[in-house]
Amino acid sequence: MGGTAGNGLRRHLISLSDVDTAELGRLVRMSVGFAEGHRRGEPLSGAVVGIYFRKTSTRTRTAFSTAALRLGARIISYGPDDLQLNTGETIEDTAKVMSRMLDGLVARTTGTMRELRALGDQSTMSVINAMSALEHPTQALADLTTLMRRFGRLEGLRVLYVGEGNSTAVALALALSRFPGTKLYLRTPAGYGLDPEVAVQAKGYAAASGALVEERHDMAELPRDVDAVYTTRWQTTGTDKPDPNWRELFAPFQVDQDVLDSSPEAVFLHDLPAHRGEEVTAEVLDGPRSIAFDQAENKLYSAMAALEWCIR
Ligand code: CP
């Protein structure tokens, strides 16, 4: 398989901050195209893609495995205990070996972006970040696909994001802020906000595009008439929080019918998995304005777009 980065090197999708706005728009259009059935043949026929998940996953792992197969690639799946990384082999040596055999590696790691950067520090195997502690770029692709399919545009959309400034929020902020006139209102518990460097970066993108990224740590005076209300699980991948009293901090940030009704026309988004009764009530998640399960399906189309963009 040939590379497509324009310099003979394989593309990676490790952070959205590596992807310029034009290419991000192209990725979203590719994803919407897949959702609408515009697939021609098996563009990844002959490719072999590693699917390496060190953390639990239902949607992302299934989406990338299905996407690779639908595009004609073959896959090798690695669980958390399968690679010699566990017995002390370095990430650099792992990358050197895998890149001689695989065309792409989709990886959900447990650590920092450094690990993914080390995997991507070679030129023959694309590396796709399937969620790291800091950022979940392919979730944002699915989210933008969902908004695009629902509203027919991204420009000018207003989104209220309620909950932890986790990897989903980071990716959403880095993505939505590129599109003119968008407004992302984040309401995050104090001490659980966006990574400060990411906040600066997203606000920089917003300043350049005429968008807004605004973060506050309370639920007072919610913005009215947003297009979407988005929340996320309080314990990403089930991870405990060191503060034993974290639930008291998070409790006011539950999305219930009153929060959703603060914007009567808004749709409801959730990256899933959900815990009904924690970050969202069942009434909202299972209600008529929820498009969370369409959003989950869109992970398949965004995975197809990411794989084709990186590997074809
Ligand atoms: N939203 C998401 O990444 O879901 P999984 O953890 O199930 O992959």
Residues 193 and 290 in one domain: yes
pLDDT at 2 over 50: no
Check whether residue 126 and residue 239 sit in a common domain: no
Reported as a single tens digit per residue, the pLDDT across 165-187 is 999 999 999 999 999 999 999 99
Establish if 89 belongs to a structural domain: yes
Structural domain count, the chain? 2
Ligand 1 neighbour 143 (Cβ under 6 A): no
Does 84 lie in the same domain as 149?
A: no
In the predicted structure, residue 15 carries a pLDDT above the cut 60: yes
60 and 187, same structural domain?
Answer: no
231: β partners: 162, 270
Rounded Cα distance between 230 and 270, Å, is: 6
Clarify whether residues 49 and 153 are in a common domain. Answer: no
| Cα–Cα nearest to 278, from 146, 162, 139 | 162
49 and 23 in one domain?
A: yes
Tokens of 270: 């959730």
Same domain for 290 and 186: yes
> How far is 172 from 174, CA to CA, in rounded Å?
5
Upstream peptide bond of 273 is cis (omega within 30 degrees of 0): yes
Note whether residue 145 is domain-resident.
yes
Pocket of ligand 1, candidates 52, 56, 59, 146: which has the most ligand atoms within 8 Å of its Cβ, to mutate?
Answer: 59
Residues 246 and 206 in one domain: yes
| Structure confidence at residue 110 (pLDDT) | 77
Relative to the CA of 62, which ligand 1 atom is closest?
8
- 270 CB near ligand 1 (under 6 Å): no
Place of tokens 């639930």: 247
Distances in whole angstroms, Cα of residue 150 to Cα of each of 108, 110, 131:
28, 33, 25
Q: What letter would DSSP give residue 156?
A: T
Is there a domain that residue 5 lies in? no
Helix (H, G, I), strand (E, B) or coil at 270: strand
Cα angle value 264/265/270 (rounded, 5°)? 100
Instruction: Indicate the angle between helix axes 167-176 and 137-151, nearest 10 degrees.
Output: 50
Q: Are residues 130 and 145 in the same domain?
A: no
Give Dmax over CA atoms of the chain in angstroms: 55
pLDDT given at position 242: 87
CATH number at residue 281: 3.40.50.1370
pLDDT exceeds 70 at position 306: yes
Q: What is the pTM of this model?
A: 0.96
In sequence order, the β-bridge partners of residue 184 are 159, 213
- Residue 127's DSSP bridge partners are 105
Residue 69, ligand 1, Cβ within 6 A: no
Helix (H, G, I), strand (E, B) or coil at 30: helix
Helices (H), the chain: 21-35, 59-70, 91-98, 113-119, 137-151, 167-176, 196-209, 246-250, 257-261, 282-285, 292-311
Residue 82 domain boundaries? 16-135+299-311
Alpha-carbon distance 61 to 53, whole Å?
A: 7
- pLDDT recorded at residue 141: 98
184-233: pLDDT as tens digits: 999 999 999 999 999 999 999 999 999 999 999 999 999 999 999 999 99
**Token pair 């082999």 in the structure block, residue:** 89
Owner of token pair 């009293």:
245
pLDDT tier for residue 235 given thresholds of 50, 70 and 90:
confident
Does 3 map to a domain?
Answer: no
Tell whether ligand 1 has an atom less than 6 A from the beta carbon of residue 139.
Answer: yes
d(Cα 260, Cα 257) in Å, to the nearest integer? 5
Ligand 1 within 6 A of CB of 146: no
Q: How confident is the model at residue 40 (pLDDT cuts 50, 70, 90)?
A: confident
Question: Is position 168 within any domain?
Answer: yes
4 domain residue, yes or no: no
Residue at 265 is within a domain? yes
Would you say residue 292 lies in a domain?
yes
HSE (CB half, 13 Å, CA atoms) of 14?
A: 18
Ligand 1, atom 3, lies closest to the CA of 60
253 and 165 both lie in a single domain: yes
Residues 91 and 210 in one domain: no
Task: Decide: 271 in ligand 1 pocket, CB within 6 A.
Answer: yes
Sheet holding 158-162, edge to edge: 212-216, 183-187, 158-162, 228-231, 267-270
The number of the ligand 1 atom at minimal distance from the alpha carbon of 142 is: 1
Q: Is 60 in the pocket of ligand 1 (CB under 6 A)?
A: yes
Q: Are residues 147 and 272 in the same domain?
A: yes
**pLDDT class for 7, splitting at 50, 70, 90?**
low
Q: How far is CA 143 from CA 6, 8, 156, in A?
A: 27, 30, 15
